[in-house]
């Protein structure tokens, strides 16, 4: 399921990124790699999309969030 559809407070595991080399590189620089655990902090349907990854909060756009495939639950 796309990260953009995950409700606030849910923990997920990043499975894949549906994008080109540039997007994958940008997300990797933020610590978003396959197998990484994420927690959705803010997903109000509009405005910034905020996630917690490796002890940090990261703000990404909704377009990026829709290209990140996740699985609910912990690894």
Domain ranges of the chain: 3-72
Three-state SS at 60? strand
Is the pLDDT score of 75 beyond 70? no
Three-state SS at 7? coil
Q: Beginning with the edge strand found earlier in the chain, give each strand of the sheet holding 56-60 in spatial order.
A: 56-60, 49-53, 37-42, 11-17, 68-72
3-72 belongs to which homologous superfamily? Answer: Ferrous iron transport protein A (FeoA) (2.30.30.90)
Number of H helices and number of E strands within the chain? 2, 5
pLDDT in tens, 23-60: 999 999 999 999 999 999 999 878 889 999 999 999 99
pLDDT of residue 45: 78
pLDDT of residue 10: 96
> pLDDT confidence of 74, banded at 50, 70, 90?
low
């Amino acid at each position: 399921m796309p990260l953009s559809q995950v409700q606030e407070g849910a923990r997920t595991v990043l499975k894949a990124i549906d994008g080109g080399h540039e997007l994958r590189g940008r997300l990797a620089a933020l610590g978003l790699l396959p197998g990484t655990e994420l927690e959705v902090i803010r997903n109000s349907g509009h405005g910034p999309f905020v996630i917690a990854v490796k002890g940090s909060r990261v703000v990404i756009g909704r377009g990026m969030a829709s290209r990140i495939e996740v699985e609910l639950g912990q690894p």
